[in-house]
Amino acid sequence: MMRSVLENMPVHGGQVRQVMSRFPQAPRPFIDLSTGISPYEYPLSPVEMSMLTRLPETADEAALLKAAAAAYGVPNEDMIVAGPGTQLLIALLPLVLKAENVFIFGPTYSGHEQAWRNAGVNVSIVTDL
């Protein structure tokens, strides 16, 4: 049972050796830009430790949504959604965006395809134009 559950999990980043074996002519060094693995630091200022030891308050989320709307040029923060991570938000897409057919530009994170297929949607992966 556990094995079948794990086999159906989306493939995340990492697995550099596996990727490199499929692309032996790729330039070196091979840099994995997956979240938490990238060698490039985010340009962040130090944060107060209390911010890392509590859940965000409603006002914190409202400020985040307002800042995101401004950064992305969205006219209203009600058009932005925040979540604990992209996996949850990707899984919710078929519930929010009703579709019978979906085209996904690939290669990309497998969670997109899995979310739509689990919802019974016909999925086509587009790898070139």
Distance CA 19, CA 3 (A): 22
Q: Are 35 and 53 in contact (CB under 8 A)?
A: no
Confidence of residue 67 (pLDDT cuts 50, 70, 90): very high
* pLDDT tens per residue, range 41-55: 778 888 888 888 988
Q: Above 70 in pLDDT, residue 103?
A: yes
Q: pTM for the complete prediction?
A: 0.60
């060094």: which residue's tokens? 29
Q: What pLDDT score was predicted for residue 2? A: 46
